[in-house]
Structure 1
Amino acid sequence: MIYCGIDWAERTHDVALVDDSGRLLAKRHITDDAVGYKILLDLLAEYGDTEENPIPVAIEISRGLLVACLRATGRPIYAINPMAAARYRDRHSVSRKKSDHLDAMVLANILRTDAVAHRELPADSELAQAIAVLARAQQDAVWDRTQAANKLSSHLREYFPGFLAAVGVRREGVCHPIARVLLAAAPTPGQAARLTRAQLRSLLKKAGRKNTVDAEAERLQTALRASQMRQLPLVEEAMGRQTLALLRQLDAACTSADDLADAAMESFEKHPDAEIITGFPGLSALSGARVFAEIGDDRSRFADAKSLKAYAGSVPITRASGKSVAVLARRVKNQRLAGVGYVWAFAAMAHSDGARAHYDRRREAGDRHTAAQRNLFNRMLGCLHHCPTHRVHYSEAVAFPAPSETQHDEAA
């Protein structure tokens, strides 16, 4: 067997090939372009790489053009966590020296000695990979939108707190279309106070408001003309200009999040697993796309439900040494899947009596809110692993069976 390790960088990569004994067979320094990729393929072919028996590759990254092209060849690709690779490096050099060539050799030797302890990149379909790109980009856009909204809100508190009080009745706050349209028309307290009801009605209609326009215009006029502390006139005008700059960033983030959400849902609904996943209580097309983006459609990726739960961080870890035993929350996990899982569990309680009863039992047993929700998410993940694998739809009676009379008697 021949093993390949690639130390990835933005412009160049170091490649090392080792045999079963760990002996270095070849090394190359290639560029991150088509020419470098051809050199890599020629090097692998020189040492026996074939379509039937491809040489496995270890690399410290799971994305990018080089990884995509290598995956297209059908060879096993192992994305090694850089932290794990750093621990292996100490096995080869106690002097703690480091070089790109040495790192490539370390990666190749990881496959030689411990390939079974690491996981290949999943063989997801092209559609599944596209859904993952869109769903993750949409999540990033939501984070950018939240950051932009927080910056704008913090800035408004310094000179225009009355605006935040006027739009604070809506859950979206400054992200709401009415708030953004209104702020673009009147970015300072003086301009906002001079808005007439006719102008406010026009702005509300521009933002998409259709019902109770007159009542809302009257409420906004009263709120914007309320007494509040003010900055000096020139300072206030300058801060208004800064507000318009921050507002443009927020508008762009809101537009990106909405467009990517539509694209992610459209692609997700084309996948055969979409109907099964959205059949779970609390999962919409968007949240279902986020869940699917992290688990993919490679059925061999997770050997059992426990592996999926560990990947999502819903199961704890046990640290035992002698008489000391500690059960702790799992910190190393897929943060995106864990994040959507919290939202999923919260929404499931409103759409499933069984989920709500399960959460209540955990709370009565002494769990805090977050722990009880994580336990519910853990339960739902077991169902999620089973349903797409066996091509069955979610069943409330199977997921949360009613307690039997025997269980009632034992509890009594």
Structure 2
Amino acid sequence: MLFVGDDWAEEHHDVELQDQTGRVLGRAKLPEGVTGIARLHAMIGEHVGEDDEPTQVVVGIETDRGGSVQALIAAGYQIYAVNPLQVARYRERHSVSGGKSDTRDAHTLADMVRTDHHQLRPVAGDSVEAEAVKVITRAHKTLIWERTRHMLRLRHALREFFPAALAAFDDLTAPDALQLLGAAPDPVSAGQLTKGQITAALKRARRRNIAEKAQAIQAALRAEQLGQPAVVTAAYGATVRAQVAILSTLNTEIQNMEEQVEAHFGKHPDAAIYLSQPGLGVILGARVLAEFGDDKNRYADAKGRKNYAGTSPITRQSGKKKAVLARHVHNDRLIDALNRQAFSALHASPGARAYYDRLRARGIGHQAALRQLGNRLVGILHGCLKTATAYDEATAWAHHQQDPPAAA
């Protein structure tokens, strides 16, 4: 066996090779890209025989993505993506001085995969279809997060000099709000908007009760409010125009990416199973698939999948003290999708609703009940994927008629 620690950076990799006894066989600083991978293969080739299997080479690296990782996987090596926090804690086992270097980190990674690889999670062998879904869904979600950030910046600016706009528009990312704010980004120009202009914007946005909403918007924009000096108002108006332009572009790109998510997700062989789950549509289903991956051997059982999802509670016990707590370290993208699924499942699944109601009747809070429901739904999904069967309401909740355990 040969153990490799790879401390990667944007431009280079610090690597160290060890044998089974921990003896250092070689160190190098390799460039990123084809040249670096070729040199790493050459270093490994100096210490393995022609008849040795590539799986006898075990690599520890602090990422599971990128061209370098894919090249290592393609070579047939065993790859372990180690969390940087785990590396830091392992380094503290041997030194408390706080010293750190890239060379030292490569040594630590090689040590970890040599002594503790049975405790680490190997890089999943996901299909290229699942990897494509992961790339596109993450890009889509990132754009949504960016839109929220820019919406909050727009809201902050309007609150400072044009609070009437906040009363007029309940959704600052809506097409009609962006169109009207782009045309009239300050109190004076907004007050001059005619009912016809407002009506036209509402029609293009396909709103309902257009006449009533146009009247309400016009009245709100013309209401008296505290103002800023003219020069300050002009400066704020320029910032509003900039934010409106960014939000309009983000809306367009989010819609385009949503179409890409649907296209890629529809090609995956497990799409039908995900879509059969209560509370999962195309977008949420694609996100859950992307974050779980489709490696059939990644999760030994439903508990393993729940632990990875972060929906299962953790127990802290010392002496007579025992506490069951929610996990706060988790994949934000996955837990967000699962929480949304649990909430939607309340309307889509009678079994899910009954389970949630039983939890609430026992005095468990809304969020804790949703968390437990999400944990159950992850287990149900695992069973469906394992048996390659679609969700069935009766089968899914047949074993959960008894009261569930206390929530975290």
Residue from 256, 268, 273 that aligns with 2:270: 273
2:314 partner amino acid = I
1:99 Cα deviation after fit? 2.2
SS of 1:356's equivalent in the other structure is helix
1:320 has 2:321 as partner: no
Partner of 1:28: 28
Q: How does the TM-score come out when normalised to structure 1?
A: 0.92
Cα distance between partner residues in 1 of 2:274 and 2:147: 27
Runs of 4+ in 1 over 6 A off after TM superposition: none
1:321 Cα deviation after fit? 2.0
Residue from 166, 173, 177 that aligns with 1:179: 177
Partner of 2:379: 382
Residue from 193, 196, 204 that aligns with 2:202: 204
1:21 partner amino acid = T
Cα distance between partner residues in 1 of 2:184 and 2:68: 50
Residue from 326, 349, 366 that aligns with 1:352: 349
Partner of 2:109: 107
Partner of 2:393: 396
Cα distance between partner residues in 2 of 1:95 and 1:146: 42
Cα distance between partner residues in 1 of 2:399 and 2:339: 25
Alignment of 1:12-411 (within 5 A): 12-48=12-48, 52-54=53-55, 55-168=57-170, 173-205=171-203, 207-209=204-206, 212-401=209-398
> Residues 248-290 of structure 1, C-alpha deviation per residue, up to 9 Å, x if partnerless?
2222332232222221121001111111101111111000011
Cα distance between partner residues in 2 of 1:202 and 1:403: 53
Unaligned runs of 5+ in 2: 404-408
Cα distance between partner residues in 1 of 2:65 and 2:370: 32
Q: How does the TM-score come out when normalised to structure 2?
A: 0.93
| Change beyond 3 A, Cα 1:314–1:149 | same
2:19 partner amino acid = D
> Residues 119-157 of structure 1, C-alpha deviation per residue, up to 9 Å, x if partnerless?
111000001001001111111111111111111011101
Tell me if structure 1 keeps the 8 A contact 2:4–2:16.
yes
Partner of 2:406: none
2:191 partner amino acid = A
Q: Between Structure 1 and Structure 2, how many residues are aligned?
A: 401
Identity %: 43
1:181 Cα deviation after fit? 0.6
> Residues 340-381 of structure 1, C-alpha deviation per residue, up to 9 Å, x if partnerless?
111110000011111111001011112111100000001100
SS of 1:56's equivalent in the other structure is strand
Cα distance between partner residues in 1 of 2:103 and 2:292: 33
Unaligned runs of 5+ in 1: none
Tell me if structure 1 keeps the 8 A contact 2:54–2:75.
no
Cα distance between partner residues in 1 of 2:269 and 2:29: 43
1:106 Cα deviation after fit? 1.3
